[in-house]
């Protein structure tokens, strides 16, 4: 907010995506979603492709508890973020997008797609040496029947 008030635009889309992610990790989905929308708007205005990809991921991730009617929109948003992250070489974000897609498909009882996305995410997490996410993803993968 202070950066906005001072007219500081450099890194503002990145800062707002970080805020959105913090809200998401704290379980404040509505705040996360609002911040992600703001980050997406700023990233597009300032043509910052990395923060734009993160904002798209955060928009999808902050809608997990939404009605099933929005599942197509959420999936498409994850896929858009995934395409952008892969094009930019943002592997951690790509893994998070695959993880989100896996969880979405699990919610929809689409077990084959859920397992494929979660396994791909797990492989990426392991390749990058990320310690928390493989354990989390393994547990979620085991829960998919």
pLDDT in tens, the chain (145 residues): 666 565 656 678 999 999 999 999 999 999 999 999 999 999 999 899 999 999 999 999 998 666 677 899 999 999 999 999 999 999 999 999 999 999 999 999 999 999 999 999 999 999 999 999 999 999 999 999 8
Q: 0.75 cut: is pTM over it?
A: yes
Token pair belonging to 129: 């040496």
Region of 48 on the Ramachandran plot (φ > 0 left; ψ -120 to 50 alpha; else beta)? beta
Give the side-chain half-sphere CA count within 13 A for 58: 33
Alpha-carbon span 47 to 100, nearest angstrom: 25
In 3-state terms, what secondary structure has residue 96?
A: helix
Q: What angle do CA 97, 104, 29 make, to 5 degrees?
A: 75
Match 């990145």 to its residue by tokens: 14
């Amino acid at each position: 907010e202070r950066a906005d008030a001072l007219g500081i635009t450099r890194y503002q889309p990145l800062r707002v995506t970080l805020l959105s992610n913090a809200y998401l990790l704290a379980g404040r989905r509505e705040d996360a979603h609002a911040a992600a929308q703001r980050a997406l708007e700023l990233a597009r205005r300032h043509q910052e492709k990395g923060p734009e990809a993160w904002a798209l991921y955060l928009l999808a991730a902050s809608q997990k508890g939404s009605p099933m009617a929005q599942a197509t929109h959420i999936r498409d948003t994850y896929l858009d973020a995934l395409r952008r992250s892969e094009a930019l070489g943002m592997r951690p974000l790509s893994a998070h997008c695959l993880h989100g897609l896996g969880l979405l498909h699990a919610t929809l009882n689409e077990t084959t797609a859920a397992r494929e996305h979660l396994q791909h995410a797990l492989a990426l997490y392991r390749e990058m040496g990320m310690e928390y996410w493989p354990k989390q993803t393994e547990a979620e993968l085991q829960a998919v029947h």
